[in-house]
Chain A
Amino acid sequence: MAEEKKVEAEPGVANAPDAPDLRGVSLPDVVHLECVGRNSSVVELFQEHSLGRIYIDQGQIVHATCGEISGERAFQKLFTITAGTFELLEYEVPPERTINRTWEFLLNEVLRQREQFARRAAAGEDLSANGENTPPAQAAWTAEILICSGAGEIFYHWQCAAPAERMALLQKISAGAEKLIPNLQLGKLDRVEVRLAEGRVVLQPRADRLVFVRLSAAKK
Protein backbone atom coordinates (compact mmCIF):
# COMPACT_ATOMS: atom_id res chain seq x y z
CA MET A 1 0.00 0.00 0.00
CA ALA A 2 1.52 3.27 -1.03
CA GLU A 3 1.91 5.92 1.62
CA GLU A 4 0.34 9.20 0.68
CA LYS A 5 3.09 11.75 0.03
CA LYS A 6 0.95 14.80 -0.45
CA VAL A 7 -2.66 15.31 -1.29
CA GLU A 8 -3.05 17.42 -4.40
CA ALA A 9 -6.76 18.02 -4.12
CA GLU A 10 -9.45 17.34 -1.62
CA PRO A 11 -10.57 13.72 -1.93
CA GLY A 12 -14.13 13.41 -3.05
CA VAL A 13 -14.28 16.80 -4.70
CA ALA A 14 -15.35 16.23 -8.27
CA ASN A 15 -13.13 18.77 -9.95
CA ALA A 16 -11.44 17.93 -13.23
CA PRO A 17 -7.93 16.56 -12.72
CA ASP A 18 -6.85 18.80 -15.55
CA ALA A 19 -8.08 21.94 -13.84
CA PRO A 20 -5.67 23.62 -11.45
CA ASP A 21 -6.25 22.23 -7.97
CA LEU A 22 -5.99 23.91 -4.57
CA ARG A 23 -2.30 24.45 -5.13
CA GLY A 24 -2.93 25.75 -8.61
CA VAL A 25 -1.40 22.62 -10.08
CA SER A 26 -3.08 20.47 -12.73
CA LEU A 27 -2.45 16.83 -13.63
CA PRO A 28 -0.14 17.65 -16.57
CA ASP A 29 1.78 20.07 -14.30
CA VAL A 30 2.32 17.40 -11.66
CA VAL A 31 3.43 14.73 -14.13
CA HIS A 32 5.67 17.28 -15.82
CA LEU A 33 7.27 18.42 -12.56
CA GLU A 34 7.82 14.89 -11.33
CA CYS A 35 9.57 14.03 -14.61
CA VAL A 36 11.60 17.21 -14.81
CA GLY A 37 12.64 16.81 -11.18
CA ARG A 38 13.63 13.17 -11.82
CA ASN A 39 11.36 12.12 -8.98
CA SER A 40 9.90 8.70 -8.32
CA SER A 41 6.20 8.67 -7.51
CA VAL A 42 2.78 7.31 -8.40
CA VAL A 43 0.05 9.70 -9.56
CA GLU A 44 -3.37 8.22 -8.85
CA LEU A 45 -6.59 9.56 -10.33
CA PHE A 46 -9.81 8.75 -8.61
CA GLN A 47 -13.46 9.62 -8.27
CA GLU A 48 -14.88 7.66 -5.35
CA HIS A 49 -12.69 4.79 -6.54
CA SER A 50 -9.40 4.62 -8.42
CA LEU A 51 -9.61 5.49 -12.12
CA GLY A 52 -6.00 4.81 -12.92
CA ARG A 53 -2.35 5.33 -12.06
CA ILE A 54 0.81 6.71 -13.61
CA TYR A 55 4.12 5.29 -12.34
CA ILE A 56 7.14 7.58 -12.57
CA ASP A 57 10.57 6.12 -11.84
CA GLN A 58 13.38 8.68 -11.52
CA GLY A 59 11.64 11.00 -13.93
CA GLN A 60 10.69 8.36 -16.49
CA ILE A 61 7.10 7.29 -17.02
CA VAL A 62 7.29 3.52 -16.84
CA HIS A 63 3.75 2.28 -16.43
CA ALA A 64 0.15 3.51 -16.54
CA THR A 65 -3.20 1.90 -15.94
CA CYS A 66 -6.71 3.11 -16.68
CA GLY A 67 -9.45 0.63 -15.91
CA GLU A 68 -8.64 -2.56 -17.79
CA ILE A 69 -6.07 -1.01 -20.12
CA SER A 70 -2.40 -0.26 -19.49
CA GLY A 71 0.60 1.27 -21.22
CA GLU A 72 0.61 4.32 -23.47
CA ARG A 73 -3.07 4.00 -24.32
CA ALA A 74 -3.93 4.13 -20.62
CA PHE A 75 -1.61 7.11 -20.13
CA GLN A 76 -3.31 9.06 -22.92
CA LYS A 77 -6.76 8.05 -21.67
CA LEU A 78 -6.07 9.38 -18.17
CA PHE A 79 -5.57 12.88 -19.57
CA THR A 80 -9.02 12.83 -21.14
CA ILE A 81 -10.83 12.21 -17.85
CA THR A 82 -12.91 15.27 -17.06
CA ALA A 83 -14.13 14.45 -13.55
CA GLY A 84 -12.38 13.34 -10.38
CA THR A 85 -9.17 14.33 -8.72
CA PHE A 86 -5.67 13.04 -8.16
CA GLU A 87 -3.08 12.34 -5.48
CA LEU A 88 0.66 12.06 -5.59
CA LEU A 89 1.77 8.91 -3.76
CA GLU A 90 5.09 7.49 -2.68
CA TYR A 91 6.69 5.44 -5.45
CA GLU A 92 6.03 1.74 -5.56
CA VAL A 93 7.42 -0.69 -8.09
CA PRO A 94 4.83 -1.28 -10.84
CA PRO A 95 3.68 -4.83 -11.57
CA GLU A 96 5.20 -4.49 -15.05
CA ARG A 97 6.84 -1.91 -17.31
CA THR A 98 4.51 -1.01 -20.14
CA ILE A 99 5.95 2.34 -21.28
CA ASN A 100 9.38 2.88 -22.78
CA ARG A 101 9.06 6.23 -24.52
CA THR A 102 10.43 9.45 -23.05
CA TRP A 103 8.17 11.65 -20.92
CA GLU A 104 8.73 14.51 -23.37
CA PHE A 105 7.25 12.42 -26.18
CA LEU A 106 4.34 11.22 -24.06
CA LEU A 107 3.33 14.67 -22.81
CA ASN A 108 3.75 16.19 -26.26
CA GLU A 109 1.47 13.47 -27.58
CA VAL A 110 -1.16 14.45 -24.97
CA LEU A 111 -0.94 18.07 -26.14
CA ARG A 112 -1.08 17.04 -29.80
CA GLN A 113 -4.23 15.03 -29.20
CA ARG A 114 -5.79 17.98 -27.41
CA GLU A 115 -5.11 20.24 -30.36
CA GLN A 116 -6.64 17.62 -32.62
CA PHE A 117 -9.74 17.40 -30.41
CA ALA A 118 -10.02 21.18 -30.26
CA ARG A 119 -9.83 21.42 -34.06
CA ARG A 120 -12.47 18.72 -34.50
CA ALA A 121 -14.74 20.33 -31.90
CA ALA A 122 -14.28 23.73 -33.59
CA ALA A 123 -15.25 22.13 -36.88
CA GLY A 124 -18.55 21.11 -35.27
CA GLU A 125 -17.83 17.40 -35.00
CA ASP A 126 -19.83 15.65 -32.27
CA LEU A 127 -17.06 13.86 -30.41
CA SER A 128 -19.34 12.45 -27.72
CA ALA A 129 -21.23 10.55 -30.42
CA ASN A 130 -18.17 8.32 -30.84
CA GLY A 131 -17.91 7.80 -27.10
CA GLU A 132 -14.81 9.97 -27.01
CA ASN A 133 -13.96 12.02 -23.96
CA THR A 134 -13.20 15.57 -24.91
CA PRO A 135 -10.10 16.85 -23.12
CA PRO A 136 -10.76 19.95 -21.04
CA ALA A 137 -10.19 23.17 -22.92
CA GLN A 138 -7.92 24.60 -20.24
CA ALA A 139 -4.31 23.71 -20.87
CA ALA A 140 -0.95 25.09 -19.93
CA TRP A 141 1.91 24.91 -22.40
CA THR A 142 5.48 24.49 -21.28
CA ALA A 143 7.40 27.54 -22.38
CA GLU A 144 10.72 27.07 -20.61
CA ILE A 145 12.55 24.51 -18.43
CA LEU A 146 15.76 24.67 -16.43
CA ILE A 147 17.17 22.01 -14.08
CA CYS A 148 20.31 22.62 -12.04
CA SER A 149 22.11 20.90 -9.20
CA GLY A 150 21.84 22.51 -5.78
CA ALA A 151 25.29 23.97 -6.39
CA GLY A 152 24.17 25.57 -9.65
CA GLU A 153 25.49 23.13 -12.25
CA ILE A 154 23.07 23.13 -15.18
CA PHE A 155 21.79 19.61 -15.95
CA TYR A 156 19.18 20.48 -18.55
CA HIS A 157 17.54 23.47 -20.15
CA TRP A 158 14.94 23.82 -22.85
CA GLN A 159 13.89 27.06 -24.54
CA CYS A 160 15.58 28.89 -21.70
CA ALA A 161 16.96 32.12 -23.14
CA ALA A 162 18.94 33.10 -20.04
CA PRO A 163 19.82 29.98 -18.01
CA ALA A 164 22.39 31.78 -15.85
CA GLU A 165 19.85 34.43 -14.84
CA ARG A 166 17.21 31.82 -14.08
CA MET A 167 19.70 29.84 -12.00
CA ALA A 168 20.65 32.98 -10.06
CA LEU A 169 16.95 33.59 -9.40
CA LEU A 170 16.47 30.02 -8.17
CA GLN A 171 19.47 30.34 -5.87
CA LYS A 172 18.11 33.59 -4.41
CA ILE A 173 14.70 32.02 -3.85
CA SER A 174 16.31 28.93 -2.33
CA ALA A 175 18.37 31.04 0.06
CA GLY A 176 15.29 33.10 0.94
CA ALA A 177 13.26 29.95 1.55
CA GLU A 178 15.84 28.76 4.07
CA LYS A 179 15.25 31.96 6.02
CA LEU A 180 11.47 31.62 5.84
CA ILE A 181 11.21 27.96 6.81
CA PRO A 182 12.34 28.14 10.47
CA ASN A 183 9.77 30.87 11.11
CA LEU A 184 6.87 28.99 9.64
CA GLN A 185 6.79 25.52 11.24
CA LEU A 186 5.02 24.21 8.13
CA GLY A 187 7.38 21.41 7.15
CA LYS A 188 9.40 21.20 3.97
CA LEU A 189 8.91 23.55 1.07
CA ASP A 190 7.49 21.66 -1.90
CA ARG A 191 7.36 24.39 -4.55
CA VAL A 192 6.88 28.04 -5.20
CA GLU A 193 4.30 29.07 -7.78
CA VAL A 194 4.35 32.49 -9.33
CA ARG A 195 1.12 33.58 -11.00
CA LEU A 196 1.77 35.85 -13.95
CA ALA A 197 -0.62 37.91 -16.01
CA GLU A 198 -0.47 35.09 -18.57
CA GLY A 199 0.63 31.70 -17.32
CA ARG A 200 2.75 30.88 -14.32
CA VAL A 201 6.19 29.85 -13.17
CA VAL A 202 6.82 26.86 -10.90
CA LEU A 203 10.06 26.75 -8.92
CA GLN A 204 11.38 23.80 -6.93
CA PRO A 205 14.24 25.15 -4.82
CA ARG A 206 15.46 21.96 -3.20
CA ALA A 207 18.80 21.25 -1.57
CA ASP A 208 19.85 18.74 -4.23
CA ARG A 209 18.31 20.40 -7.29
CA LEU A 210 16.78 23.59 -8.54
CA VAL A 211 13.95 23.34 -11.07
CA PHE A 212 12.41 26.20 -13.04
CA VAL A 213 9.39 25.61 -15.30
CA ARG A 214 7.46 28.40 -17.00
CA LEU A 215 3.99 27.53 -18.25
CA SER A 216 2.25 29.75 -20.71
CA ALA A 217 -1.52 30.08 -21.00
CA ALA A 218 -1.26 29.94 -24.79
CA LYS A 219 1.04 28.06 -27.13
CA LYS A 220 3.51 30.44 -28.80
Chain B
Amino acid sequence: MKADFKHWFASLPAVPGMLACGHRQPNGKCLGHGDDKIYTAEKISRLLKQFAELHEPLAAAEFSPRWTTWAFEYGLLRFVPRPDKGLLMLLVSPETEAARELDRLAEEFLARPLK
Protein backbone atom coordinates (compact mmCIF):
# COMPACT_ATOMS: atom_id res chain seq x y z
CA MET B 1 0.00 0.00 0.00
CA LYS B 2 1.26 3.45 -0.86
CA ALA B 3 2.83 5.45 1.95
CA ASP B 4 0.78 8.42 0.77
CA PHE B 5 -2.45 6.51 1.33
CA LYS B 6 -1.30 5.24 4.75
CA HIS B 7 -0.47 8.79 5.77
CA TRP B 8 -3.87 10.03 4.57
CA PHE B 9 -5.73 7.24 6.39
CA ALA B 10 -3.73 7.80 9.59
CA SER B 11 -4.72 11.47 9.55
CA LEU B 12 -8.49 10.74 9.61
CA PRO B 13 -8.92 10.28 13.40
CA ALA B 14 -7.66 13.83 13.89
CA VAL B 15 -10.70 15.29 12.13
CA PRO B 16 -12.94 16.65 14.94
CA GLY B 17 -16.03 14.46 15.27
CA MET B 18 -14.48 11.34 13.74
CA LEU B 19 -15.49 8.40 15.97
CA ALA B 20 -13.93 5.61 13.97
CA CYS B 21 -12.62 4.82 10.54
CA GLY B 22 -11.77 1.60 8.80
CA HIS B 23 -10.35 0.45 5.52
CA ARG B 24 -10.74 -2.96 3.95
CA GLN B 25 -8.03 -3.51 1.39
CA PRO B 26 -8.77 -5.30 -1.88
CA ASN B 27 -7.05 -8.39 -0.44
CA GLY B 28 -9.50 -8.46 2.47
CA LYS B 29 -7.15 -7.15 5.16
CA CYS B 30 -8.65 -4.50 7.42
CA LEU B 31 -7.17 -1.44 9.08
CA GLY B 32 -9.03 0.54 11.69
CA HIS B 33 -8.77 3.50 14.02
CA GLY B 34 -11.27 4.30 16.69
CA ASP B 35 -12.13 4.66 20.32
CA ASP B 36 -10.59 1.52 21.82
CA LYS B 37 -13.47 1.04 24.25
CA ILE B 38 -16.44 1.24 21.88
CA TYR B 39 -15.04 0.96 18.36
CA THR B 40 -12.33 -1.62 18.61
CA ALA B 41 -10.33 -2.81 15.60
CA GLU B 42 -12.30 -6.07 15.76
CA LYS B 43 -15.63 -4.25 15.68
CA ILE B 44 -14.51 -2.09 12.76
CA SER B 45 -13.46 -5.20 10.84
CA ARG B 46 -16.83 -6.81 11.54
CA LEU B 47 -18.69 -3.69 10.34
CA LEU B 48 -16.68 -3.61 7.13
CA LYS B 49 -17.48 -7.27 6.49
CA GLN B 50 -21.19 -6.77 7.23
CA PHE B 51 -21.40 -3.78 4.96
CA ALA B 52 -19.58 -5.57 2.15
CA GLU B 53 -22.41 -8.15 2.30
CA LEU B 54 -25.03 -5.39 2.29
CA HIS B 55 -23.39 -3.65 -0.60
CA GLU B 56 -23.92 -6.62 -2.91
CA PRO B 57 -27.71 -6.25 -3.30
CA LEU B 58 -27.31 -2.49 -3.78
CA ALA B 59 -24.71 -3.00 -6.51
CA ALA B 60 -26.87 -5.70 -8.07
CA ALA B 61 -29.86 -3.35 -8.19
CA GLU B 62 -28.32 -1.36 -11.06
CA PHE B 63 -27.39 1.53 -8.74
CA SER B 64 -23.57 1.32 -8.65
CA PRO B 65 -23.46 3.50 -5.53
CA ARG B 66 -20.63 5.96 -5.18
CA TRP B 67 -21.15 5.78 -1.45
CA THR B 68 -23.76 4.94 1.15
CA THR B 69 -24.61 6.85 4.32
CA TRP B 70 -26.44 5.29 7.23
CA ALA B 71 -27.99 8.06 9.32
CA PHE B 72 -28.56 7.00 12.92
CA GLU B 73 -29.85 9.05 15.83
CA TYR B 74 -26.36 9.72 17.14
CA GLY B 75 -24.04 9.19 14.23
CA LEU B 76 -23.47 8.94 10.52
CA LEU B 77 -21.84 5.89 9.00
CA ARG B 78 -20.39 6.39 5.53
CA PHE B 79 -19.19 3.49 3.37
CA VAL B 80 -17.26 4.19 0.20
CA PRO B 81 -16.61 1.23 -2.11
CA ARG B 82 -13.96 1.32 -4.82
CA PRO B 83 -14.00 -0.61 -8.07
CA ASP B 84 -10.87 -2.49 -6.89
CA LYS B 85 -12.91 -3.86 -3.92
CA GLY B 86 -11.31 -1.49 -1.45
CA LEU B 87 -13.81 -0.15 1.09
CA LEU B 88 -13.63 2.86 3.41
CA MET B 89 -15.79 3.26 6.50
CA LEU B 90 -16.15 6.57 8.33
CA LEU B 91 -18.17 6.88 11.52
CA VAL B 92 -18.78 10.47 12.61
CA SER B 93 -20.85 12.45 15.06
CA PRO B 94 -23.54 14.54 13.38
CA GLU B 95 -23.03 18.29 13.04
CA THR B 96 -19.29 18.15 13.44
CA GLU B 97 -16.43 19.04 11.16
CA ALA B 98 -16.07 15.36 10.29
CA ALA B 99 -19.74 15.25 9.20
CA ARG B 100 -19.24 18.31 7.02
CA GLU B 101 -16.12 16.78 5.50
CA LEU B 102 -17.66 13.40 4.64
CA ASP B 103 -18.12 14.10 0.93
CA ARG B 104 -14.63 15.52 0.56
CA LEU B 105 -13.06 12.57 2.35
CA ALA B 106 -15.04 10.11 0.24
CA GLU B 107 -13.93 11.85 -2.96
CA GLU B 108 -10.33 11.79 -1.77
CA PHE B 109 -10.53 8.07 -1.04
CA LEU B 110 -11.95 7.36 -4.49
CA ALA B 111 -9.28 9.45 -6.20
CA ARG B 112 -6.29 8.25 -4.18
CA PRO B 113 -4.18 5.40 -5.62
CA LEU B 114 -3.70 2.52 -3.19
CA LYS B 115 -0.70 0.96 -4.93
Q: Which residues of A contact B75 (CB under 8 A)?
A: 184, 186-187
A183 with B47: CB separation less than 8 A: yes
A23-B71, A192-B71 given as contacts; is B77 within 8 A of A186 (CB)? yes
The residue on B at minimum CB distance from A168 is: B57
A9–B99 Cα gap in the complex (Å)? 10
- Identify which of B43, B68, B91, B95 contacts A193 (C-beta below 8 A): B68
Beyond A168-B57, A173-B57, 11 additional contacts (C-beta under 8 Å) are: A22-B94, A22-B100, A23-B69, A165-B61, A181-B72, A183-B47, A194-B58, A194-B65, A195-B66, A195-B67, A196-B66
Q: Which residues of B contact A129 (CB under 8 A)?
A: none
Give residues of chain B (75-114) contacting chain A, Cβ–Cβ below 8 Å.
75-77, 91, 94-95, 99-100, 102-103
Interface set of A (CB-CB < 8 Å, partner B) = 6-7, 9-10, 22-24, 165-166, 168-169, 172-173, 176-177, 179-181, 183-197, 201
A192–B66 Cα gap in the complex (Å)? 13
The residue on A at minimum CB distance from B92 is: A22
B73 with A186: CB separation less than 8 A: yes
Among A176, A186, A195, A197, chain B packs the most CB atoms within 10 A around the CB of A186
A188 with B73: CB separation less than 8 A: yes
A189 with B70: CB separation less than 8 A: yes
A201–B67 Cα gap in the complex (Å)? 11
* 7 residue pairs from A and B, CB less than 8 Å apart: A10-B95, A22-B76, A22-B94, A172-B57, A186-B73, A195-B67, A201-B65
Chain B: number of interface residues, binned into ranges: 20 to 34
- Identify which of B58, B61, B66, B73 contacts A6 (C-beta below 8 A): B73
A23 with B94: CB separation less than 8 A: yes
Q: Tell me whether B1 is interfacial, beta carbon within 8 Å.
A: no
B67 with A172: CB separation less than 8 A: no
Q: Which residues of B contact A176 (CB under 8 A)?
A: 50, 53-54
Q: Which residues of B contact A9 (CB under 8 A)?
A: 95
Give residues of chain B (29-68) contacting chain A, Cβ–Cβ below 8 Å.
38, 43, 46-47, 50-51, 53-54, 57-58, 61, 63-68
- Identify which of A23, A179, A187, A194 contacts B63 (C-beta below 8 A): A194
The residue on B at minimum CB distance from A196 is: B63
Q: Which residues of B contact A24 (CB under 8 A)?
A: 69, 103
B61 with A169: CB separation less than 8 A: yes
B72 with A188: CB separation less than 8 A: yes
- Identify which of B43, B57, B66, B94 contacts A197 (C-beta below 8 A): B66
Q: Which residues of A contact B61 (CB under 8 A)?
A: 165-166, 169
Q: Which residues of B contact A177 (CB under 8 A)?
A: 70
Q: Which residues of B contact A195 (CB under 8 A)?
A: 65-69
A185 with B69: CB separation less than 8 A: no
Q: Which residues of A contact B58 (CB under 8 A)?
A: 169, 173, 194
A193–B73 Cα gap in the complex (Å)? 14
